[in-house]
Amino acid sequence: MMADEMKKELTHIDDLGRAHMVDVSGKPIVRRFARAEAMYCASVRTIDILLTPARAQELPKGEALAVARVAGIQAAKRTGELIPLCHPLPIDHAEIVFDRVGEDRIRITASVTTTARTGVEMEAITAATVAGITLYDMTKAIDSEMRIEGVRLVEKVKEE
């Protein structure tokens, strides 16, 4: 790909190669949705504790899933403050879901909806990531081998 062709694809780069915020003022306001995921990987014991409400007291910081859920939702709402060239968006809905997908892993799914001029992909990715980081923080006292991996956008929809 030629340098000029790449510049045309990179919407956050102006004709002189400088980063800038994209002007979306001419775009229509439509409903937009995005879903992202991240994997929280930890010991079987840690996953068991996280997913068993009666064992939440075993975590020094308390009920990790509830805190991570709220942190992910808050992250979606504040993405425009965290990522310099993102537009601040009115978030109509944000949801964080935790699913055990293996004995040593939980899939974190973040779904975000807005009615705006630009999409919510970054908000969904940020929400999944922050929920994962929060689980990490909430469980680091009992598991030093955990990790967050596989952060990715799963779906995006623009209704017209």
Please tell me the pTM assigned to this model: 0.90
- For residue 120, tell me if it sits in a domain: yes
Structural domains counted in the chain: 1
Burial class (CB in 10 A: 0-12, 13-18, 19+), 90: exposed
Note whether residue 9 is domain-resident: no
Per the annotation, the verdict on 137 as an active-site residue is: yes
Write the CATH number for 54. Answer: 3.30.70.640
The answer to whether position 121 is within a domain reads yes
Is residue 87 domain-resident?
yes
Q: Residue 18: which pLDDT band, with cuts at 50, 70 and 90?
A: confident
Radius of gyration in angstroms for the set of CA atoms belonging to the chain, rounded to a whole number: 18
Average pLDDT of the residues in 125-145: 97
Find the range with the poorest average confidence among 1-10, 26-35, 81-90, 101-110: 1-10
Which pLDDT band, with edges at 50, 70 and 90, does 22 fall under?
Answer: confident
**Would 18 be classed as within a structural domain?**
no
Catalytic residue among 48, 92, 137, 143: 137
Domain assignment present for 48: yes
User: What pLDDT score does 113 carry?
Assistant: 98
Model pLDDT for residues 24-71, shown as the tens digit of each residue: 888 999 999 999 999 999 999 999 999 998 887 888 888 999 999 999
Handedness of CA 75, 76, 78, 82 (dihedral sign): positive
Q: Which residue range(s) make up the domain with 154? A: 27-158
For tokens 């949801």, the residue is 95
Distance from chain centroid for Cα 80: 13
